[in-house]
């Protein structure tokens, strides 16, 4: 009985000493740069400030599922440690698979920049212009204390049109030590790519021909 009790104590001690898992999101704070919270006041206005209703936009966007390289398509953070070596971090995890994280963050960045709605798989008003944005992330590199890099090929077209613009955006951000800094660097990289795409959407929406 004493042996069993001692074994149980050791198991419990091992569980207690296991480091906790930490979860990160790329979409936190994305899409809030254009007028979010504008006009928010104090007192009785606080309840109203927490609720925002957008007017119908002049056009909509669609951001279908993003693709990412197979080696980073997992919930654990995959980090580069030099000399071609990568580490899989069991305690540092994305809150959703990276493809979903990047897709949501990119959607929020673009819709926030343009003041529109991502209507993917959602009905839109008849004859409303919809711009479809497809994204293939070819590199998603994480080097703690050094840089965060996203290399993406994206295409843009007006739904119903056969004309397609295909471009490539490479965003590399220097980052400080720690995984919070690394994730923040990836958010900045997504914001830069979102700005490239938003510029092209704006140009196309005015009737002009966008360029990379």
Q: Which helix (H) or strand (E) holds 185?
A: helix 179-205
Domain range holding 153? 56-205
> Does 194 map to a domain?
yes
pLDDT tens column, 87-104:
999 999 999 999 999 999
Q: What pLDDT, on the 0 to 100 scale, is given for residue 4?
A: 47
- Cβ proximity of 169 and 145 under 8 Å: no
Number of domains in the chain: 1
* CATH code of the domain in which 96 resides: 3.40.50.10610
Q: Does 49 or 166 have the greater pLDDT score?
A: 166
Determine how many CB atoms are found less than 10 A away from the CB of residue 152: 25
> Does 157 map to a domain?
yes
> Does 17 map to a domain?
no
Share of the chain above pLDDT 90, in %: 74
Token pair, residue 44, equals 């009785």
Q: What pLDDT, on the 0 to 100 scale, is given for residue 206?
A: 95
Q: What pLDDT, on the 0 to 100 scale, is given for residue 55?
A: 82
pLDDT tens column, 14-57:
455 678 999 999 997 777 655 443 333 444 454 455 676 768 89
> Does 37 map to a domain?
no
> Does 177 map to a domain?
yes
Token pair, residue 19, equals 């480091």
> Does 13 map to a domain?
no
User: Please, what is the end-to-end C-alpha distance for the chain in angstroms?
Assistant: 73
> Does 185 map to a domain?
yes
> Does 200 map to a domain?
yes
């Amino acid at each position: 009985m004493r042996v069993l009790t001692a074994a149980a104590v050791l198991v419990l001690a091992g569980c207690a000493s296991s480091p906790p898992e930490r979860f990160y999101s790329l979409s936190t704070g994305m899409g809030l740069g254009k007028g979010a919270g504008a006009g928010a006041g104090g007192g009785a206005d606080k309840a109203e400030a927490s609720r925002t209703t957008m007017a119908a936009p002049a056009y909509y966007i669609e951001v279908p599922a993003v693709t990412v390289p197979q080696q980073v398509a997992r919930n654990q953070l995959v980090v580069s440690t030099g000399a071609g070596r990568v580490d899989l971090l069991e305690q540092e995890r994305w809150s959703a698979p990276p493809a979903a994280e990047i897709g949501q963050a990119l959607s929020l960045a673009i819709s926030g920049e343009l003041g529109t709605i991502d209507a993917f798989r959602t009905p839109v008003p008849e004859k409303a212009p919809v711009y479809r944005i497809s994204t293939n992330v070819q590199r998603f590199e994480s080097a703690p204390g050094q840089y965060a890099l996203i290399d993406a090929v994206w295409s843009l077209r007006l739904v119903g049109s056969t004309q397609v613009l295909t471009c490539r955006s490479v965003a590399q951000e220097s980052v400080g030590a720690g995984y919070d800094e690394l994730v923040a660097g990836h958010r900045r990289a997504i914001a830069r790519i979102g700005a490239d795409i938003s510029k092209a959407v704006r140009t196309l929406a005015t009737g002009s021909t966008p360029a990379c």
